[in-house]
Structure formats: structure tokens, C-alpha cells
Structure 1
Amino acid sequence: MKKIASFCMILFLFVLTACSSTPGGGSDSETLQIGALYPLSGNLALLGEESYRGVELAVEQANKNGGVAGGKKIELVKGDAVDADAAQAEANRLINQEGIQAIVGSYSSSISFAASEVAERSGALYWELGAVSDSITDRKYEYILRTNPPASYFSKTHVNFIKDVVTKKLGKDLTDIKVAIAHEDSAYGTTIADEAVKLSKKEGINVVTTQPYSAGTNDLSSVILNIEKEAPDVLIAVSYMNDAILLARQSEELGLDVPVFIGSGGGHTMTDFAESVGEKANGLFNVDFPQYNINREYTPGMGDFLKLYKEKYGQEPRSGHSLTNYMGMKVVLDVLDEVGEIDPDKLKEAALKYTVEPGSTATGWGVEFDQENGQNLKSEPYVHQWIDGELITVWPEKIAVEEPQVNKK
């Protein structure tokens, strides 16, 4: 009798163990696990956390509405990637220890580049929802998809805005416009700057100086004086938070007064930037992901997102990074709903067939993934401007709520 009881107990434990795990990153047959790799501490944590919040809201909304694929719930397994080294370690942990087969991330290009390398070697699907370096998708990896626009799209927007708007506002021919570029020297800043130089040359725009610097610097006076010496009509800046504030403050101290200043996302998007520099923010343009003073007819679902954000976090979004990751995660969930399981090959195959027309998502972006490199071809940055302490969408016209304002110097 004891032998029978023991045998029954062993059989019960075997069955229980077999039912408690699901291949492909699920803790049980009704739960699907997805890794979420972001800088949640350290120097990049402000926008890293803001980005993660968008993913979190999309998942909570999906779970509340019944989950995906007939009722399966999504569970996020977080990884804190403070830098590229940590990104590699956390990606390895998520894939090899937690059994995760699909990861979303990651805000920072260097983090994305490192983590997606690990995912590719392991055959796990990496969805980039916010990092912009072109090199992430230029490698044409088998297991990477990106929903947001890359840096080269930012540079294209810079140049098209100068060509279509700035020339008219300043009353100058395109070939007479002088452009200076100041950029932090990581993959983020360097990629945007290099592409802006290349596209400017193609259009006949004169880039009079390019000034790289470390984002951790506490003195940009030499950068500013070199720019001032060239007397540019336009200054394109690519900055994180602290260096964006430093550039604004030291520019005023040293008397740099450029007719058109165009930021490139990063620090120039944040409400913290405007609060720190005050009146110096007004008039600055910023090429970035969609923000919130925008044509709502072209961005259906944004109102729902803002309501969810305020209810959960008790404040307004701090930048458009959360919205961008929310939209990207909804694409991930749509594809997962169709596939029904976390199988990297099946998800990639379904994603390459998934399309959405522009003007149909909370960011206004459409979705169509490049068949070779996984880049969303229908994503685009917009031009915003700080006006009376608010970041207003001003271009292109389809998405704008106000005219761009340029004061001739």
C-alpha cells in the first residue's frame, strides 16, 4: 500500500511539474512572459523608466481586456540595463536563466546594440521600441524588429524642415543657409550628426562646423565659441538632459544667439529641461517622437493612453518616450495575439506580414517592417517647438496644431 501511495505521489509531482512550465517564456499555459530590458537605474534611468511605463501600460490594458490569443495573460520580466555591459548580462540572464524568448527595449542605442547581439546569438526575438541608432537594424539580424524611427529619419526631418520651412521664414535660399551641429558623442548623437551632414551635402546646405562632445562634460564653452565664430543660421543639437541644460545656459552666458535652434529628442524633449532653463526654452524646435500637443485626429488612442498614464502614475507623461513604447508594445501584442505563443520564428514571420496605415495609431505612425532589416518603414519623427512653456507640434502640417515661429535675428 505504501509503494502504491509513493508511486501516486511521484506521478502527481511529475504531472504538476510538466504543467507548470511552457516553452517560449511562459510560466504556465495561460501566461506568456516577455522580457523588458531598460535602464531603470543609473544615469539613463529618467527616460529609461519613462519608456518602460509605456510598455507596462500597454500590457496592463491588454490583460484587463482579456489578454491575447483567447485569454492568455502577458507577464513582463524586467531587466535593468544601466549600460552596454549590463545589457549583455541582463539579456543573457533573461534568455538563459528565465527562459525568455522575446525581449522588448530599450531606449538607449548602446544598450539595444549590445542586448540584441545576445538575443541574435540565442535565437530570441528582440523588439526595439525606442532606441534610434541605424546600426541596430543595419546589421540585418534575423531576430530583430524596430517599431520607432531610426536616427537617419531624424536627420531627414531636420533637413526637410530647413528646406521647406526655415528657408521661407528666414527669406534665404537653401544654399545660403549655414548650419552648425553640436552633438554628444555616443551612438545616438554621432549617428544623427553624421547623417545630417551627409543629407545636407546632398541638398547643398552648408554645414559650417560639427562639434562633438562628451555628454558627461561640465563645460561646453569651447563648443559654443566655435559655433559662435561661424555665425550659423541654424544650430542642430543632439543632447541628453544634463548637456542640453548646460548648452542652453552657457550659450546665454557666452552670447550665442542663433536664429533657429533644432534639438533632436533626448533632453530637449523633457519637461525637466524647460523647467530648468525657463524662458530660454521658448522658441526652440525639437525633432522627436510624437508629443502630446498634437493633432488628435491623426493619433487615435492617444487620449486613452493619457488617461491610463494619469490614473496609474498620478501625473502627466514626462516625454513622448512612454507613448512611443506604448504604441510599439501594442504592435507586439497584436502580433502575439495572432500567433498565440512566444515562438521567435513564428512571431517574426507574422510581424513581416503585419501592416497598419499612418494615422491609425496613438503616435500617428503606420507599420510596415522592412523585409530585410526589420525596420518599421512607416514611422517618422515630428517637429515640435517650445511655446510659452509647452512643447507644441508644428510640422508637418498633417500632425501640427500651430505654425512654426521663427524670429529673424
Structure 2
Amino acid sequence: MTKATRRGFSAGAALTVLGLGKAASAQPAPVKIGVIYPLSGNSASAGNYSKMAIEVGADVINNGNAELAKIIPLAKGGGLPGLGGAKIQLIFADNQGTPAAGQNQALRLISEEKVAALIGAYQSGITLTASAIAERHGLPFLTAESVAANLTERGFKWFFRTTPVAIDFARAYSTFLKEQKAAGQKVGAIALVHENTEYGNSVASVIADQFGKDGLPITQKIAYSANSSDVQPQVLQLKEKNPDVVIFISYTSDAILYAKTMKELNWKPSIMIADNAGFNDPAFLKAMGSTVEGLVNRSAYSGGKPGSVPAIFNELYKAKAGVELDDVSVRGLQGFLVLADAINRAGSTDPAKIQAALRATNLPAEQMAAGYDGVKFDDKGQNVLASSVVTQLQGGKYVTIFPKARATANVILPYKGW
């Protein structure tokens, strides 16, 4: 090889190396988002369905969807344009249904995985501990489902919540029941049955306060230990007092147990209301749907017209999960989309810039997968545009019955059950 040839080879090799270097650096590092959900334990079904919903959202952002791109800018695909096309990498963590595990997983995701932000953790008691770790480390934490009132009363600066909360549900239940009273249904005696966790205690307290203001009598309050193996004593208390309305605040395994025990003891109220959670889990519907026909529930998801954001996401989700979006899974999806939007607008994985972008969020209703009026956070991190509808289980599916402007079916009472 001549010197000239060697010089040409060296120059060519250098250019090749430079070219490879440019190609290698063309795709920026992925943006890691930590996702904390119950992937095992008594709420594993709900956690895994939410996991799949969030995966659908990430896939849309990373790879695009032509229909959604007409409405949601990030659905054009190619990753996050604000970060040069960086793809989203979801790092999942199993909170195992316990506050301690949720706390430990949050710490691991922050210190070892170096995530840019966290989302989770379904159960309010776990969100309480996991978000405290994020606050301590100065990292954004968004909860899409946890509704305990005190979560946004801690003075936290890094905590954000997209879901409607207990006061929204309480007002919806109250207005719904007053409408039923005007239509001739009995609502003179109301029982509250709730698990004694952060979620159950908080929601029950808010409902009781609101009903008291609205002149709806709570005549019986039954608190029980979460994940119980026997709820016969509680159902016998209900049977003895025989209230007109009973409202359950329970996760999946307890919801199934209550439905079975009520059938075994042959007792049912005229109106049975579930505060979502376990009663909305596809696993509950599969196991007990025919036993609880006519159950009233609340939801942030009421479907949508063909071509709408909820309808398109529902088809994508069905293809992945084999079931339709429900209240919990759609709230998880919506929360993730809000977080991704903020990271994109921040144009950075700097926690402070993401925090500032979250505070500036102002998303319109037409971009919502969930049935919210939009997303805009107050100074406590609560979405002030969150909203909820009342649904009823009819023919094995939840249909919207309240408010009338959004209803897709008429309410059928009294509660049928089995």
C-alpha cells in the first residue's frame, strides 16, 4: 500500500468513524418514566390492566397513530419532539399492594434507574408513601387514580393528580340520589361500607360530610379490615338494619367477597352503589357480573363517538388487553399522557423543568382519553378540570346513566342483583 493510499484509507476510515458516530448519536437517549403499580397481590388485576393502558400510550407516542395525530400532537410518533425525538422507556415496578413496597420501589426507580418522573401507585395509601420519597428527592410524581383527600393537602411541590377526587364523587352520588328520590325511590336510610385504609377512610368521610350537608341520612357506617377472609358479620349488620342504599368502598378481593356473601345471605338493598375500585376491575366483572346486575358505579370513562380520542384508544387497548378500557385503566392512560406532554414541553429531563411544565399544563377536553373537561392543575397539584359520571351495570356492561346530558342509557331500579 502506498503512502497516498494509506492516507486515503485513513481519511476514509476517519470519515466512516465520524459518520458512525453521528448515526449513533442521532437518536437521543430514551426518557425513563417510572411506573409503580400493584402487579401482584390482591389488586394485581387492576394494576396489570393499567400497565397495559400506559404501554398503549407509550407506543402511540413512540411509533405514532394517524387517527390520533389529528387531535393529539404527540401521537404523530417518533418520540418526544421537544427532546429531539427521544423515545419513552417505561420502567415498571411492583408495589405488591403494600405502602412499604411502594416506598422502596420509588426509591429504587429514582436512585438506581434514574427516572425523569414517576407515575402511580393506584392505592392511595401506597401513593402516600411513594410520593413522599419523590418529594424528598425533588422529582415529579403524578397519580392518575389515587383519590384520598389528604394527598394534595401535604404542601408538596412535586406532586400532581389528574383524577377527580372524593368530593367530586360525593357530589355526583348525592345529586343522583336526590334525583332518584324525586322519582319515587326510597333513599331514607343509607349505609356506608368501607375498608379501613387511606382510601376507604378518606372517601367515606368525604361522602358522609357531603351527604350531611345535602340532607341525605347516613344511618349506618361499617368499617372493615381490607383483604378480609370473611365479611359475613358486616353483611348480617346490613341485613338487620336493611338500609335503602348501600355504598361500598372496596378493592377487588373484598368486592368479590361482599357480592358472594350478600347472595349467600340473600340480602340486597334497593340501590347499591360502588365507589369504583374493585367493583370496576375486569376480574370482578368476569367473576361476579351476573350477580350484581344493576350495580351503580362511578367512572371517568364513558366511551366516545367513533373517531374520538376515547374510541380510538379503546380500540388500541382492546387489541392489546382483550378487554375494553374501564375507569381505572383509562385514568392511568390519561395520567401518563399528561406526564409525557409535560416532559415534551419541558424539552428536558431536568426535574425542575418538568415540574414547571406540569404546573403550566392546560389541555382541552377534546384531547382527553378520560371523560375530563381537560387538565389544569391548581397550586396544590389537583386537576381542577377533572370530572366524573355515574354508570350502571346493565347486561354485563357499565353504561352511563348520569348526568342526563352524557347518559347513554336510562337508570333501572330497584337493584336487581342475582
TM-score surpassing 0.5?
yes
Give SS of 1:268's match. helix
Instruction: Measure, in 1, the Cα distance between the counterparts of 2:129 and 2:209.
Output: 26
Query: 1:359 touches 1:365 (CA, 8 Å); kept in 2?
Result: no
Match of 1:170 among 179, 184, 205: 184
**1:226/1:123 Cα in 2 relative to 1: closer, same or farther (>3 Å)?**
same
* Residue 296 (structure 1) aligned with residue 295 (structure 2): no
Instruction: Measure, in 1, the Cα distance between the counterparts of 2:363 and 2:175.
Output: 25
Instruction: Measure, in 2, the Cα distance between the counterparts of 1:88 and 1:276.
Output: 31
Give SS of 1:379's match. coil
Query: 1:51 touches 1:130 (CA, 8 Å); kept in 2?
Result: no
Which residue of 2 is the match for residue 138 of structure 1?
153
**1:276/1:318 Cα in 2 relative to 1: closer, same or farther (>3 Å)?**
farther
Q: Which has the larger radius of gyration?
A: 2
Give SS of 1:296's match. coil
Displacement of 1:154: 2.0
**1:336/1:278 Cα in 2 relative to 1: closer, same or farther (>3 Å)?**
closer
Query: 1:88 touches 1:114 (CA, 8 Å); kept in 2?
Result: yes
Match of 1:306 among 314, 324, 327: 314
The number of residues matched between the two structures is: 378
* More displaced stretch, 268-277 vs 47-56: 268-277
Instruction: Measure, in 1, the Cα distance between the counterparts of 2:289 and 2:93.
Output: 35
Give SS of 2:174's match. helix
Match of 2:280 among 269, 288, 298: 269
Instruction: Measure, in 2, the Cα distance between the counterparts of 1:317 and 1:408.
Output: 24
What 5-or-longer segments of structure 2 have no aligned partner?
A: 1-16, 64-76
Query: 2:293 touches 2:394 (CA, 8 Å); kept in 1?
Result: yes
* Residue 120 (structure 1) aligned with residue 135 (structure 2): yes
Instruction: Measure, in 2, the Cα distance between the counterparts of 1:112 and 1:408.
Output: 34
Identity of aligned residues (%): 29
Which residue of 1 is the match for residue 88 of structure 2?
74
What 5-or-longer segments of structure 1 have no aligned partner?
A: 1-11, 21-27
Match of 1:106 among 118, 121, 135: 121
**1:77/1:279 Cα in 2 relative to 1: closer, same or farther (>3 Å)?**
closer
Instruction: Measure, in 2, the Cα distance between the counterparts of 1:340 and 1:192.
Output: 37
Give the RMSD, CA atoms, in angstroms.
Answer: 2.3
Give SS of 1:212's match. strand
Query: 2:33 touches 2:118 (CA, 8 Å); kept in 1?
Result: yes
Give SS of 1:287's match. strand
Q: State the TM-score, normalized to the length of structure 2.
A: 0.84
Match of 2:251 among 218, 240, 254: 240
* Residue 323 (structure 1) aligned with residue 335 (structure 2): no
Which residue of 2 is the match for residue 152 of structure 1?
167
Name the aligned partner's letter for residue 33 of structure 2: I
Instruction: Measure, in 1, the Cα distance between the counterparts of 2:389 and 2:363.
Output: 19
**1:166/1:104 Cα in 2 relative to 1: closer, same or farther (>3 Å)?**
same
* Residue 358 (structure 1) aligned with residue 365 (structure 2): yes
Q: State the TM-score, normalized to the length of structure 1.
A: 0.86
Match of 1:228 among 239, 245, 259: 239
**1:404/1:360 Cα in 2 relative to 1: closer, same or farther (>3 Å)?**
farther
Query: 2:318 touches 2:325 (CA, 8 Å); kept in 1?
Result: no
